[in-house]
Amino acid sequence: MIGYYGSYDVVVCGGGTSGIPAAIAAARAGAKTLLVERVGQLGGQMNYSGPPGFSYAYFYNARREKIVGGFGEETYRRLFDEGHALPTKLQRWRNSYQFSYVDPDWWGLLAYQMIQESGVELMLHALVTDVVREGTAVRGVLAEHPSGRSIVLAKVVIDCTGEGEVSFQAGAETEIIGTDTLEPATVAFTADGVDWARFMDYVRDNIDEFTFAHLCEEYDGLTEGEIKQMVRQCESIEEIGEIMGFLSLKEKAIKTGEWHNFSGIGFFILPREGGVIQAHFQHSSQVGFADCTDVRDLTRVEVEARNQDVVAWKFFKKYVPGFEKAYITRVCPEARIRETRRVMGDYVLTEDDIAEARKFADVIGKSSFPAGAKHVIPGNEATVNGTLTLSNVNRYPKDGGSNDIPYRCLVVKGLDNLLVAGKAISTTRGAHNRFLQQTLVTGQAAGVAAALCARRGLTPRELEADVSELQQVLRGQGAILDGVH
């Protein structure tokens, strides 16, 4: 039996890092909004299967100009003011230049508060399994939940499922590359009880064991030696933020079977109340050759990732000074998926658009994340005809600037009343917009666009003809659309 649930201006499918800003922005712009989420917890890759190792990064470009505001800025500020975020750091040895660590669980709790404040209705534990389509127009979705199946009607549907599921169900054109080159998936975990003083002594005494990003060489003229010297002078792990390497330990452990060969060794930090810092491991498992839209592969990913995590944690306990009495506090409930489908839209953002720092008249937000940056695991080095393609070939926006994200990347090609936000927006593979800040930006923009379409009786495609009101509302919500490189 299929029941009728209700009729809305905007229905947002997926309550992750793009879906939450999408729903809040739509409601703030005056739309009657429903957010449908598959599990009971809002937050997606930020707190359910996350957090991102360097959360709230790339809010600045390499020139230190702030390029991301809006929902990202607002949530950071609220969390910081309540003691759930660390101060923003501009670090010269990190490619992102800036990072602002936030407590992921408080991020999730804040999301519920903001959803209620803005008047968004929630439908939790509800999986969107199909769409209601009339010709090329999407009129709503079918949701399955503990009480059965319901039709939800909408003037505009926003696909924030991360994997482009709703667009796929609607018959949209999507792209997914082969499993030999898809990025690996991860089950992240967090640990407490680390003796940080002991660990920091180890880092200072063994600085050549670690690797640090140094794009800043290009802008600051720093050598690797100078960067390592700066890191050695850090007084606390908060100042370092993330650490990768343990090079000779890894070499030894690989030989003895005490480290698996699927990732480098390292961790990020995670701030907790009262100044507590935990270690967060988001690269310690990486399962490749898997299409996470295929249930068999996805199941294998969940099992293999946990096996790798066990190997990784035993390694840390045995070999890394400071971790002797540490203990795991949180294993994410499901795998984090880096890459599956991209949904084709009215414009497809390219690597050149990013590298050339291109500007577009229909800009809805900015990004300074490089094109081509991909995770690879041994065995899938992303080669085509023997030539290294995307892996390790980062192309940063030129002159330390940023590229615009055009509104048309959110408008699903060939279909009406359907927008996509988050990591599935319309890009080439090399321009994949999968970073947290990009998903916040595109989510907020899709929410405002959907609300305007509902109010003015336009389809998202018709809105393309004049985006001035969309841009004006976004600026009013704090988004940064101009005035920076």
Ligand X SMILES: Cc1cc2nc3c(=O)[nH]c(=O)nc-3n(C[C@H](O)[C@H](O)[C@H](O)COP(=O)(O)OP(=O)(O)OC[C@H]3O[C@@H](n4cnc5c(N)ncnc54)[C@H](O)[C@@H]3O)c2cc1C
Q: Tokens at residue 420, please? A: 């996509």
- Under 8 Å CB-to-CB from 14, ≥6 apart: which residues? 36, 37, 38, 44, 128, 159, 160, 161, 162, 165, 166, 422
Site string for ligand X, 244-283 (x = CB under 6 A): --------------------------------------x-
288 near ligand X, rule: CB under 6 A:
no
In angstroms, give the least distance from the CB of 394 to ligand X: 14
Site string for ligand X, 33-62 (x = CB under 6 A): ---xxxx----xxx---x-xxx--x-----
Please list the residues that pair with 164 across neighbouring strands. none
Nearer to ligand X, 34 or 458 (CB): 34
User: Which range of residues in 154-162, 223-231, 289-297, 390-398 is near ligand X by CB under 6 A?
Assistant: 154-162
Residues touching ligand X, count (CB under 6 A): 37
Q: Are 154 and 131 in contact (CB under 8 A)?
A: no
User: Which range of residues in 82-90, 107-115, 161-169, 465-473 is near ligand X by CB under 6 A?
Assistant: 161-169
Nearer to ligand X, 98 or 459 (CB): 98
In angstroms, give the least distance from the CB of 188 to ligand X: 6
Q: Are 434 and 18 in contact (CB under 8 A)?
A: no
Nearer to ligand X, 406 or 458 (CB): 406
In angstroms, give the least distance from the CB of 229 to ligand X: 25
In angstroms, give the least distance from the CB of 104 to ligand X: 10
Nearer to ligand X, 285 or 458 (CB): 285
Nearer to ligand X, 280 or 458 (CB): 280
Site string for ligand X, 6-25 (x = CB under 6 A): -------xxxxxxx------
Nearer to ligand X, 122 or 455 (CB): 122
332 near ligand X, rule: CB under 6 A:
no
Q: Which residue is nearest to ligand X (CB)?
A: 16
Q: φ, ψ for residue 336 (rounded to 5)?
A: -95, 130
Q: Tokens at residue 57, please? A: 């990064």
Nearer to ligand X, 28 or 336 (CB): 336
In angstroms, give the least distance from the CB of 43 to ligand X: 7
Which of 95, 161, 174, 459 lies at the binding interface for ligand X (CB under 6 A)? 161
374 near ligand X, rule: CB under 6 A:
no
70 near ligand X, rule: CB under 6 A:
no
Kindly report whether the peptide bond that precedes residue 271 is cis, defined as omega within 30 degrees of 0: no
Q: Tokens at residue 356, please? A: 């050339």
Distance between CA atoms of residues 152 and 150, nearest Å: 6
Nearer to ligand X, 169 or 458 (CB): 169
b/e per residue 107-125 (b: at least 16 CB within 10 A): bbbbbeebbeebebbbbee
Which of 10, 85, 128, 240 lies at the binding interface for ligand X (CB under 6 A)? 128
Q: How far is CA 416 from CA 159, 206, 371, 427, in A?
A: 13, 58, 29, 19
Q: How would you classify the pairing of strands 98-99 and 89-90?
A: antiparallel
User: Which range of residues in 193-201, 332-340, 396-404, 471-479 is near ligand X by CB under 6 A?
Assistant: 332-340
Nearer to ligand X, 27 or 458 (CB): 27
Which of 162, 365, 447, 460 lies at the binding interface for ligand X (CB under 6 A)? 162
| DSSP output for 129-150 | EEEEEETTEEEEEEEEETTEEE
Distance between CA atoms of residues 348 and 350, nearest Å: 6
Q: How would you classify the pairing of strands 2-13 and 33-36?
A: parallel
**Closest C-alpha to 100, from 404, 482, 437:** 437
Which of 91, 167, 174, 186 lies at the binding interface for ligand X (CB under 6 A)? 186
Distance between CA atoms of residues 16 and 443, nearest Å: 10
408 near ligand X, rule: CB under 6 A:
no
142 near ligand X, rule: CB under 6 A:
no
Nearer to ligand X, 323 or 435 (CB): 435
Distance between CA atoms of residues 75 and 477, nearest Å: 12
In angstroms, give the least distance from the CB of 366 to ligand X: 14
Q: Tokens at residue 341, please? A: 């489908």
Site string for ligand X, 421-460 (x = CB under 6 A): -xx----------xxxx-x---------------------
Contacts with ligand X by CB under 6 A lie at 13-19, 36-39, 44-46, 50, 52-54, 57, 127-128, 160-162, 165, 186, 282, 336-338, 422-423, 434-437, 439
